[in-house]
């Protein structure tokens, strides 16, 4: 096994192409090193992307935020502007693992690990975040929900790297929120999770919404029916009940040691209500 | 013949150089190549915190860092906490509050608490419990550890 720390994205992509499927990208390592230790993967080459300066920063511009692929989740939580604009995205990212893991793990890693229970992904999907992908054929930008295609599998082509996550500039009267259910309060993996992102008009009516559910299907789900229910409402009790029913109905969960199908359906609805209210309150405060 | 990756780093204020393999963790380098046995391997998968160190002012699990990644960085381990015979206030308070039994988790707790107090010198009990949630103790329990950290925080604020 070899370890290389390229200083440019072009070099990283060149190495990735050259290794033809036998290389692994290292950012935070909190998934990669565990999988290597468990013998699940044996890469011939590890490409550490943390020396690529462009990937190490969060930048804010007229268009919104660009979060580099090597930025640890702890840094998202320390960025006041990002916290203010996208509190749901930050709360999802900051629920991954412990303080120790927070100092290393990245949202791009969380996305590319492609776990249906990934904590940072539902809020990114609800936020309409995009993945900026660079590969041998150039750059492309896709919606975050198009990256994972199943547990542990992504739509990235050979040689492609996600360079950054893009978040739009925040519209006035907008809010987002993420919550998950876990048996423990810390250091656990979501049994069910939900994220809601919405924008209100100047009368306090929901103008647009996005609703995402985690850990209830092979990939994080964008529930369009739930978004349609919220749109045009003031997030009243009747709307919330319909939202819960739509979210429960959208689940395609499995029974496993952490929860049954029936439990996940029920909790998906409960969490959707709670995050819709939290997002609504946050939107109203702006 | 390839003998390994040459790495220059700084550990507890001293420059250090070592050779390691590409897949060797920083925890293994610290223990097996540099003789720094404070950081322990509990789970090896980042769940228990026994291998906690501070890497460029960030608390991390050294079992989830490659040795090669230490190039040009600053590492703090439990070995750097005492000044000669003078224990760090956290170490002194862990003794006074009997906040350890078998001691396997203790270096990780001390380093995690040091990082916590550097960022938040006057934490609430809840903040301490959340801040140390990545460190598992299977014999002492957490109450004595939390009290030791609270007491040490008071001493360090007064110092």
HEC-encoded secondary structure of A10-69:
HHHHHHHHHCCCCEEEECCCCCHHHHHHCCCCCCCEEEEHHHCHHHCCEEEECCEEEEEC
Same domain, A237 and A280: yes
Same domain, B72 and B131: no
Same domain, B57 and B15: yes
* A198-224 residue pLDDT tens: 999 999 999 999 999 999 999 999 999
Cα distance between residue A156 and residue A1, in whole Å:
23
Same domain, B74 and B99: no
Same domain, A8 and A146: yes
Same domain, A161 and A80: yes
Structure tokens at B55: 């890497």
Per DSSP, B72 falls in state T
Same domain, B63 and B108: no
Same domain, B58 and B114: no
Rounded to the nearest integer, the mean pLDDT of chain B is 96
Same domain, A152 and A223: no
Same domain, B43 and B107: no
CB count in 10 Å sphere of residue B158: 7
**DSSP tally for chain B: helices H, then strands E:** 5, 5
Residue with tokens 């604020």: B157
Q: What are the φ/ψ torsions at residue A168 (nearest 5 degrees)?
A: -65, 160
Write out chain A residues lying below 8 Å of B21, CB-based: 1
Same domain, A21 and A101: yes
Residues 184-243 (A) with a CB less than 8 A from some CB of B: 186-187
Domain boundary residue, one of B80, B106, B128: B80
ipTM of the complex, rounded to two decimals? 0.94
Segment A273-285 mean pLDDT: 95
* A131-187 residue pLDDT tens: 999 999 999 999 999 999 999 999 999 999 999 999 999 999 999 999 999 988 777
Residue B1 predicted with pLDDT over 50: no
Q: What are the φ/ψ torsions at residue B44 (nearest 5 degrees)?
A: 75, 10
Same domain, B70 and B95: no
Residue with tokens 């610290």: B30
* A72-105 residue pLDDT tens: 999 999 999 999 999 999 999 999 999 999 999 9
Same domain, B100 and B153: yes
Q: Does residue A246 lie within any of the structural domains? A: yes
* A255-274 residue pLDDT tens: 988 889 999 999 999 999 99
CA-nearest of A176, A229, A160, A195 to A9 is: A160
What local confidence, expressed as pLDDT, does residue A285 receive?
67
**CB-CB under 8 Å, B64 with A46:** no
**CB-CB under 8 Å, A186 with B133:** yes
Q: Does residue A144 lie within any of the structural domains? A: yes
Whichever domain contains B35, its CATH number is 3.10.20.30
Same domain, A196 and A62: no
Domain boundary residue, one of B15, B45, B80: B80
Same domain, A87 and A121: yes
Same domain, B75 and B99: no
CA-nearest of A61, A49, A56, A54 to A75 is: A56
Structure tokens at A29: 């390592």
CA-nearest of A201, A264, A194 to A234 is: A201
Helix, strand, coil share (%) of chain B residues, nearest 5:
40, 20, 40
Whichever domain contains A215, its CATH number is 3.30.390.50
Same domain, A122 and A240: no
**CB-CB under 8 Å, A100 with B59:** yes
Under a CB-based contact definition with an 8 Å cutoff, are residues A144 and A130 in contact? yes
Same domain, A211 and A141: no
Whichever domain contains A31, its CATH number is 3.30.465.10
Residue with tokens 């026994």: B50
**Number of folded domains in chain A?**
2
Q: Does residue A185 lie within any of the structural domains? A: no
Q: Does residue A123 lie within any of the structural domains? A: yes
Same domain, A124 and A205: no
Residue B159 predicted with pLDDT over 90: no
Please give the interface size between A and B, counted as residue pairs whose CB atoms are below 8 Å apart: 83
Helix, strand, coil share (%) of chain A residues, nearest 5:
35, 25, 35
Cα distance between residue A77 and residue A73, in whole Å:
7
Same domain, B151 and B108: yes
Same domain, B12 and B66: yes
Q: Does residue A173 lie within any of the structural domains? A: no
Same domain, A28 and A139: yes
Domain boundary residue, one of B80, B103, B122: B80
B142 touches chain A (CB under 8 A): no
| Domain coverage including residue B139 | 89-158
Domain boundary residue, one of A136, A168, A200: A168
Segment A51-77 mean pLDDT: 97
| Domain coverage including residue A195 | 190-284
Q: Does residue A15 lie within any of the structural domains? A: yes
**Number of folded domains in chain B?**
2
What is the band of B2 on the pLDDT scale with cuts at 50, 70, 90? Answer: low
Burial class (CB in 10 A: 0-12, 13-18, 19+), A37: middle
Whichever domain contains B94, its CATH number is 1.10.150.120
Write out chain A residues lying below 8 Å of B49, CB-based: 98, 100
Q: Does residue A174 lie within any of the structural domains? A: no
Residue of A nearest to B69 (CA): A48
Q: Does residue A75 lie within any of the structural domains? A: yes
Domain boundary residue, one of A134, A168, A202: A168
* A26-55 residue pLDDT tens: 999 999 999 999 999 999 999 999 999 999
Same domain, A112 and A156: yes
A97 touches chain B (CB under 8 A): yes
């Amino acid at each position: 096994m070899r370890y290389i720390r390229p200083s440019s994205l072009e070099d990283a992509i060149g190495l990735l192409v050259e290794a033809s499927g036998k290389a692994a990208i290292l950012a935070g390592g909190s998934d990669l090193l565990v999988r290597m230790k468990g013998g699940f993967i044996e890469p011939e080459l590890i490409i550490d992307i943390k020396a690529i300066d462009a990937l190490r920063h969060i930048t804010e511009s007229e268009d919104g935020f660009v979060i580099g692929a090597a930025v640890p989740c702890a840094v998202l939580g320390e960025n006041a502007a990002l916290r203010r604009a996208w509190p749901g995205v930050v709360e999802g990212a900051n629920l991954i693992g412990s303080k120790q893991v927070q100092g290393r793990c990245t949202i791009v890693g969380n996305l590319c690990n492609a776990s249906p229970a990934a904590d940072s992904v539902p809020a990114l999907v609800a936020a309409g975040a995009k993945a900026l992908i660079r590969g041998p054929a150039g750059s492309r930008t896709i919606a975050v929900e198009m990256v994972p295609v199943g547990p542990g599998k992504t739509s990235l082509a050979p040689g492609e790297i996600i360079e950054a996550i893009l978040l739009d500039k925040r519209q006035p009267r907008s809010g987002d929120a993420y919550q998950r259910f876990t048996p423990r309060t810390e250091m656990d993996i979501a049994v069910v999770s939900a994220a809601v992102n919405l924008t209100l008009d100047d009368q306090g009516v929901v103008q647009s919404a996005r609703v995402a559910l985690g850990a209830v299907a092979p990939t994080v789900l964008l529930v369009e029916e739930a978004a349609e229910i919220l749109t045009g409402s003031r997030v009243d009790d009747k709307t919330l009940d319909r939202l819960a029913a739509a979210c429960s109905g959208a689940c395609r969960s499995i029974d496993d040691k952490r929860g049954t199908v029936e439990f996940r359906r029920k909790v998906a609805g409960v969490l959707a209500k709670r995050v819709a209210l939290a997002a609504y309150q946050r939107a109203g405060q702006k | 013949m390839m003998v390994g990756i040459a790495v220059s780093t700084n550990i507890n204020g001293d420059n250090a150089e070592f050779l390691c393999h590409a897949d060797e963790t920083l925890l293994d380098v610290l223990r097996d190549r540099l003789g720094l046995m404070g950081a322990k391997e509990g789970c090896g998968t980042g769940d228990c915190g026994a291998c906690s160190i501070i890497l460029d002012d960030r608390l991390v699990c050294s079992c989830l860092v490659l040795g090669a990644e230490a190039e040009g960085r600053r590492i703090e381990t439990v070995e750097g906490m005492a000044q000669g015979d003078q224990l760090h206030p956290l170490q002194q308070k862990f003794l006074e509050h009997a906040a350890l039994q078998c001691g396997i988790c203790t270096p990780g707790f001390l380093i995690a608490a040091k990082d916590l107090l550097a960022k938040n010198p006057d934490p609430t009990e809840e903040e301490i419990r959340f801040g140390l949630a990545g460190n598992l103790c299977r014999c002492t329990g957490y109450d004595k550890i939390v009290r030791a950290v609270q007491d040490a925080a008071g001493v360090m604020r007064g110092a």
